[in-house]
A and B are shown apart, each in its own frame.
Chain A
């Protein structure tokens, strides 16, 4: 059984388009995260939600909007895509937060042309 799943795995799109990435976890965790990993493999947190409540909102353009319909799901919508948005986006979850182990999804590879 997949613990943290993301769809789609690959996303190729044109500049200016709007796209969404979905994440689901079946671990019963309360906290979910979105990370961006750039071409240099640097992994940086974007958002975190605890039981549907936004906890962390890093310095991310407001074209990025997360939504958590319930504590098992965290989606990421991106408006007006730009070339610099090309990256791998990872969803993760943890039991609570802070010093808890985070479990990562397989990643969504986004390429903006």
Chain B
């Protein structure tokens, strides 16, 4: 079992709809969770971080964390073509170490 698992996609969503990205992790002691966005040929950039169970909202983005189920998700409301990218889930595992999932490629169709 991979430490951090994501559906690699591609996930195709019509413009204006909600895009839902999911991630599961195997290490129960992880406390910090991150969503990074990576455009083709560019470096990853942080979208959201979440540390507590529940929802965390930032603009059109909502991160959801359920530590009991070892599950973290990212919702993108009112999806725009500019949201088309690969989304990387990252889980903190021990001091200073992030473990990344393989990423979900998201395409927003106009």
Partners in one complex: yes
| Interface presence of A68 (CB below 8 A) | no
Tell me whether A98 and B92 are in contact (CB under 8 A). yes
| Interface presence of A65 (CB below 8 A) | no
Tell me whether B88 and A48 are in contact (CB under 8 A). no
Tell me whether B102 and A41 are in contact (CB under 8 A). yes
| Interface presence of B109 (CB below 8 A) | no
- The winner among A94, A98, A105 for most chain B CB atoms within 10 A is A98
| Interface presence of A84 (CB below 8 A) | no
Tell me whether B45 and A31 are in contact (CB under 8 A). no
| Interface presence of B43 (CB below 8 A) | yes
Known: A31-B96, A50-B96. Contact between A41 and B86, CB under 8 A? yes
Give the size range of A's interface with the partner.
Answer: 20 to 34
A107 to B102, CA, bound (A): 18
| Interface presence of B17 (CB below 8 A) | no
List which A63-113 residues lie within 8 A (CB) of chain B.
90, 94, 96-99, 101-107
Find chain A residues with CB under 8 A from B42 CB: 106-107
B34 in complex: contacting residue of A41, A50, A101, A105, CB < 8 Å? A101
Nearest chain B CB to A103's CB is how many angstroms away? 8
Closest to B38 in A: A41
Complex A-B, nearest 6 residue pairs according to Cβ-Cβ distance, in ascending order: A97-B96, A99-B32, A104-B43, A43-B100, A48-B96, A99-B92
Q: Told that A44-B100, A50-B96, A98-B96 touch, could you supply 7 new A-B pairs with CB distance under 8 A? A: A41-B38, A41-B102, A45-B97, A45-B98, A98-B95, A99-B51, A104-B43
